Structure 1
Amino acid sequence: MSELRKKWITAPLLKLIKKVLPPISETEREAMEAGEVWWDAQLLSGKPDWDQLLSMGPPQLSEEEQAFLDGPVEELCRMVDDWKISFEDRDISPEIWEFLKKERFFGIIIPKEYGGLGFSPTAHGEIVTKVSTRSTCVGVTVMVPNSLGPGELLMAHGTDEQKQYYLPRLADGREIPCFGLTSPEAGSDAAAMVDRGVVCYGDYKGEKTLGMRVDWHKRYITLGPVATVLGLAFKLYDPDHLLGDKEALGITVALVPTDTEGVTIGQRHLPAMQAFQNGPNWGVDVFIPMEWIIGGRENVGRGWYMLMSALAAGRGISLPSLSTGGAKMAARTTGAYARIREQFGIPIGKFEGVQRRLAEIASVAYVLDSAHKTTTRALDAGHKPAVVTAIMKAHATHGLRQAINDAMDIHAGKGIMDGPLNYLGNVYRAVPVAITVEGANILTRSLMIFGQGAIRCHPYLFEEMLAAENPDTKEGVEALDKLLPKHMLFQVKTFIRGVFHGWTGGLFANSPRGVGYAAKYYRQMDRYSAVLTLVTEISLLSLGGGLKRKEQISGRLGDVLSQLYLLSCTLKRFKDDGSPREDRPLLEFAMRAGLHNIEVSLMEVFQNFPRRFLGQLMHFLAMPWGHSIRTASDRQSHACAELLMEPSETRDRLTRGVFLGNPGDGVDLVEQAFNKVCATESLRDKLKKGGIRAFNREAIDAGLERELISGEEAAELREAAEAVNMAIQVDHFDHLGTRES
């Protein structure tokens, strides 16, 4: 019976699957095999196990890591003058470069045995976050050597000799690394890479040595202009078969000292008015010994897998840390500015239009910080979730854009006029850079998150695709024969859960124990996990390989998966913080916004599904009542905005890790004015009761003269008014652009 089933059912079905499902290219396969699945797979199971996520607990720093944050990181932030770096010198000062090397900022992730700090991903993320709140240029300079680059590749794949030589030199800054992947012709598309090497013999240290002759042209290489060692990706060929029978050996990664003959370091790029070092490089007929390949000869052709493995972790720390820092800084400063800046005698933060923007900034900062903490905690535990880190990169940088745009709108002229007092301008200019690098967000959203995520996270699909690669073999038929019953059972359960929770609005969905007030949101998360899994199964069955070309559909489904992940992290963070009652406005606003976005994305999938009948059927099965989640009410927006405009534990908890500035700089002036305005609010009320609404020296003197306030109170108010006057100032320049002191 079993053999008949395989012959008449499984074998024909396997050939059909091969026609329907998209073929897997070598680079796609390596990308999907690199890293791993984690909570993303739970979210695409239709029935997430919340205990798996919540049992991880909050991220923790060791005493040594906390001391580094309180010591060298704080000192570095005090040393930085971002205006000088970005607009005067266009580079980090020699003193800061030396400090970064001395304190081993370039060796955050390198183990102590090699002279590095050996810190956890959580510590790595917190360091980059805090530095980025002071300067995106310095943040990027610290970030790059510790994310995708030679250090991480060496630790994971290098030979003992390579580790012993390079890691101590990278840790203490004797070597400055960069990584060369992006080519003018192909961008970051490895399959289209034109940089190539040919296996041959050449002269190395006076001896005939087996190696490669390599030609390349790379650009957009961060730290490239100052690098001493280049991690180089290229396609390797062996036409003379010196290594074996294959001629095209695949993408290979080598370490090349930049002073090697034939290597040219080009002049700098200037990315979006950012001062971090970035530029092109070339190589013409460069001889590279085999021993320079990371991991040696046995890693010939494994470069793309190595890169994807490294990116699976590094992408979840680097730009998400920078984005989280920027969003938290925007929340802290914009809340303070909205409190001290007045129009018509009242703080601008009291206007409902401004309050909505403040609430959105606070919500973005809360969600990004929650997701950032959860992701680095997962990396601490040894996970390398490739889809999750792609979600983090794309949505953290997009969230930063949202937050900084809203912050600029509220600051108005204060945020537009450049100068040392402007603490938003450089972050605003950094946003396009963050969104573009490490995988442009458009492609990450439309192709990677769901396109690869649906395959990687599905319990059976990837194995079925691998079986379909060999439809005429006994092994392929055997593999599919074992998978089919399991997949069919999964589909039945998915259908039942998706339809039941869709029709009942998640009323009977599960929520973990001990979550109290937040239980209603866990039920909605369970509901939409089931709905997404149902829609995914129908989409894959009906469109097959065509789904890969429907980037709008794939992108919207990716948005649903992304929102489920971000909101999961937000719920976890709320529980980790002890479910504080005063934080509820943040949770309410964030959850309602995210769940509403999920519904919008699903409705757009149904409305635009290529097979109209199936789109209508999915709508009927999964969301028969249409939109059911409302965004936050005006009352909830007000409560959320108020959290940014009053001193509180919630405000401090939300913006923890923001560098509050050196005395006299923009952030410090706004922070000091905020504290003094809040401290004298009761005295202002005395003036207002007496009919005096203005807040200046003349108004205060009038209040004193009318005995509305005492002399001591008048002095406090004058000090607060002067602090506000200083905080709202912008810089002045002469007609040539020279700043006036």
Structure 2
Amino acid sequence: MGSPADLLDLDAELSDTELATRDRVREFVDRRVRPDIARWFADAHFPRELVPELGELGVLGMHLEGYGCAGRSAVEYGLAAQELEAGDSGIRTFVSVQGSLAMSAIHKHGSEAQKQRWLPRMATGEVVGCFGLTEPGAGSDPASMTTRARFEPGAEGGDAGGEWVLDGAKRWIGMASFADVAIIWAKVREPQDDGSERDRVRGFVVPTSTPGFTAVPIEPKLSMRASVQCDVTLDGVRLPADAILPEHPGLAGPFACLDEARYGIVWGAVGAARDAFESALAYAQGREQFGTPVAGFQLTQAKLVDMALEITKAQLMALRLGRLKDAGRLQGHMISAGKLNNARIAIDVCRTARTILGGNGVTLDHSPMRHANNLESVRTYEGTDEVHTLVLGRHITGIAAFR
């Protein structure tokens, strides 16, 4: 039976395979996340024991082809993200960092040797990855990053025996304190055909055991408490010549990965909103005031209707983007539209759901306020409302208003 928030029978638009994927992930969340998520959130604990189970579930890099990855469709990945975030944004964020960022960077931009070395073990969860782009002074403007990489040739000159040396700092890097490998983006001074030099952003595969790599969790947090975000310091980190990702130098490299993560957010936010709505609905149907179930009051029904309408519209947007992505027709501004809209409405739904729960809604016995707190982070990362608004403004007007 579909959710009461599905006002248009959107389940009928999904294939049997898509429904099976959704239901399999939903069962996992019901069994392994819901019973403990309140405690994990309260204790600021990420359940690392779930990592190999998520690998076995097939959701780590599930939209990637080959190298032990599941090769599922964009819609299936979206449905998985939606169900994971219905459990908690922190769990979906881990899957996103692992698959859409770290694994995607290697899959899109890495050498064959890098893919063979890392991707199969990342797909099973044996190896955990992180993605280092954001810096203390460079969030929405990654072009202003100050992390640098320089190449020191070997004794014979050229690449043989040479090393890359990385120096800099990154911030808000998910899972970095327990990751086995980090994808670090840094500026490299590269010669041009005319004899000049210019900075280019390049990606590097950095085993986190490398001397000079340090990751410290950012604490305390009011959001994403069942997840880990870190400050990363790179102090003379030395890497072999083949640590560089050979494909797509420039910011197009990390941006392609960010688009994958943003796409997952479009779906994930719907899951959080739906879970908050269902929690509020169940409470309203069971709690009586003035001799009447709270769900029987007109003002409460108005809130429930407004929430269901927004969730249904957000689900339509997510499904449309998924179909476009599977058809190879998804464009960047479309992802911005989905991320901006769905993260924004999800927070509003969760806050409204909390009001139906009354004072009980501020406890961790109920999910809406936890979801709302998490969504403050989801709304910010992978592009703030302001950035996505300007992306859409540029698409509509043809004029970039970023500077």
Q: What TM bracket, shorter-length normalisation?
A: 0.7 to 0.9
1:290-369 paired onto structure 2 within 5 Å = 290-294=241-245, 296=246, 299=248, 302-316=249-263, 318-369=264-315
| 1:430 Cα deviation from its structure 2 partner | 0.7
Match in the other structure for 1:141: 94
Aligned equivalent of 1:90, options 45, 49, 62:
45
| 1:399 Cα deviation from its structure 2 partner | 0.4
Whichever residue aligns with residue 40 of structure 2, its letter is: I
Asked whether the 8 Å contact 2:59–2:77 carries over to 1, the reply is no
SS of the equivalent of 1:92 reads coil
| 1:200 Cα deviation from its structure 2 partner | 2.5
Asked whether the 8 Å contact 1:222–1:279 carries over to 2, the reply is yes
Question: Taking structure 1 as reference, are residues 169 and 270 closer, same or farther at Cα in structure 2, changes over 3 Å only?
Answer: farther
RMSD: 2.7
Aligned equivalent of 1:451, options 370, 394, 403:
394
2-side partners of 1:237 and 1:101: how far apart? 38
Question: Taking structure 1 as reference, are residues 245 and 150 closer, same or farther at Cα in structure 2, changes over 3 Å only?
Answer: farther
Asked whether the 8 Å contact 2:97–2:131 carries over to 1, the reply is no
Asked whether the 8 Å contact 2:172–2:230 carries over to 1, the reply is yes
Aligned equivalent of 2:382, options 438, 458, 464:
438
2-side partners of 1:548 and 1:430: how far apart? 29
Match in the other structure for 2:211: 261
Match in the other structure for 2:28: 75
Whichever residue aligns with residue 217 of structure 2, its letter is: Q
1:56-71 paired onto structure 2 within 5 Å = 60-61=14-15, 63=17, 66-71=19-24
2-side partners of 1:226 and 1:380: how far apart? 33
1:224 maps to 2:176: yes
Question: Taking structure 1 as reference, are residues 194 and 59 closer, same or farther at Cα in structure 2, changes over 3 Å only?
Answer: farther
2-side partners of 1:331 and 1:72: how far apart? 20
1:714-725 paired onto structure 2 within 5 Å = none
| 1:311 Cα deviation from its structure 2 partner | 2.7
1-side partners of 2:208 and 2:16: how far apart? 37
Asked whether the 8 Å contact 2:143–2:251 carries over to 1, the reply is no
1-side partners of 2:25 and 2:311: how far apart? 25
The answer for unaligned runs of 5 or more in structure 1 is 1-57, 456-544, 552-741
Question: Taking structure 1 as reference, are residues 90 and 243 closer, same or farther at Cα in structure 2, changes over 3 Å only?
Answer: farther
SS of the equivalent of 1:266 reads strand
1:99 maps to 2:53: yes
| 1:275 Cα deviation from its structure 2 partner | 1.8
SS of the equivalent of 1:349 reads helix
SS of the equivalent of 2:138 reads coil
1:456-471 paired onto structure 2 within 5 Å = none
Whichever residue aligns with residue 106 of structure 2, its letter is: L
Question: Taking structure 1 as reference, are residues 233 and 59 closer, same or farther at Cα in structure 2, changes over 3 Å only?
Answer: farther
| 1:400 Cα deviation from its structure 2 partner | 0.7
The structure where helix makes up a greater share of residues is 1
Larger radius of gyration between Structure 1 and Structure 2:
1
Match in the other structure for 1:548: 401
Count of residue pairs brought into register by the alignment: 388
Asked whether the 8 Å contact 1:181–1:188 carries over to 2, the reply is no
1:232-631 paired onto structure 2 within 5 Å = 232-238=184-190, 245-273=195-223, 274-294=225-245, 296=246, 299=248, 302-316=249-263, 318-416=264-362, 418-419=363-364, 421-445=365-389, 447-455=390-398, 548=401
Whichever residue aligns with residue 305 of structure 1, its letter is: A
| 1:60 Cα deviation from its structure 2 partner | 4.1
Whichever residue aligns with residue 228 of structure 2, its letter is: Q
SS of the equivalent of 1:314 reads helix
Please give the per-residue CA displacement for 1:69-97, whole angstroms capped at 9, x wherever unaligned: 43455134312210222123612152x23
| 1:351 Cα deviation from its structure 2 partner | 2.8
Question: Taking structure 1 as reference, are residues 291 and 59 closer, same or farther at Cα in structure 2, changes over 3 Å only?
Answer: farther
1-side partners of 2:267 and 2:327: how far apart? 18
Whichever residue aligns with residue 87 of structure 2, its letter is: R
Please give the per-residue CA displacement for 1:496-542, whole angstroms capped at 9, x wherever unaligned: xxxxxxxxxxxxxxxxxxxxxxxxxxxxxxxxxxxxxxxxxxxxxxx
| 1:115 Cα deviation from its structure 2 partner | 0.9
Asked whether the 8 Å contact 1:179–1:232 carries over to 2, the reply is yes
| 1:256 Cα deviation from its structure 2 partner | 1.0
Whichever residue aligns with residue 282 of structure 1, its letter is: T
Asked whether the 8 Å contact 1:313–1:389 carries over to 2, the reply is no
2-side partners of 1:310 and 1:62: how far apart? 29
1:205-224 paired onto structure 2 within 5 Å = 208-224=160-176
Whichever residue aligns with residue 234 of structure 2, its letter is: G
Match in the other structure for 1:573: none
| 1:304 Cα deviation from its structure 2 partner | 0.6
Whichever residue aligns with residue 425 of structure 1, its letter is: M
SS of the equivalent of 1:175 reads coil
2-side partners of 1:333 and 1:87: how far apart? 19
SS of the equivalent of 2:376 reads helix
Question: Taking structure 1 as reference, are residues 76 and 353 closer, same or farther at Cα in structure 2, changes over 3 Å only?
Answer: closer
Whichever residue aligns with residue 434 of structure 1, its letter is: V
Please give the per-residue CA displacement for 1:391-428, whole angstroms capped at 9, x wherever unaligned: 11111111011101111111111211x23x22223102
SS of the equivalent of 2:217 reads coil
Please give the per-residue CA displacement for 1:561-582, whole angstroms capped at 9, x wherever unaligned: xxxxxxxxxxxxxxxxxxxxxx
SS of the equivalent of 1:371 reads helix
2-side partners of 1:169 and 1:355: how far apart? 49
Asked whether the 8 Å contact 2:154–2:162 carries over to 1, the reply is yes
Asked whether the 8 Å contact 2:174–2:229 carries over to 1, the reply is yes
1:705-716 paired onto structure 2 within 5 Å = none
Question: Taking structure 1 as reference, are residues 265 and 313 closer, same or farther at Cα in structure 2, changes over 3 Å only?
Answer: closer
Asked whether the 8 Å contact 1:237–1:247 carries over to 2, the reply is yes
Whichever residue aligns with residue 548 of structure 1, its letter is: A
2-side partners of 1:449 and 1:230: how far apart? 31
Whichever residue aligns with residue 290 of structure 1, its letter is: A
Question: Taking structure 1 as reference, are residues 176 and 453 closer, same or farther at Cα in structure 2, changes over 3 Å only?
Answer: farther
| 1:261 Cα deviation from its structure 2 partner | 2.1
1-side partners of 2:162 and 2:396: how far apart? 40
Please give the per-residue CA displacement for 1:144-198, whole angstroms capped at 9, x wherever unaligned: 2222x12112222222222222211211112211111111122241221111122
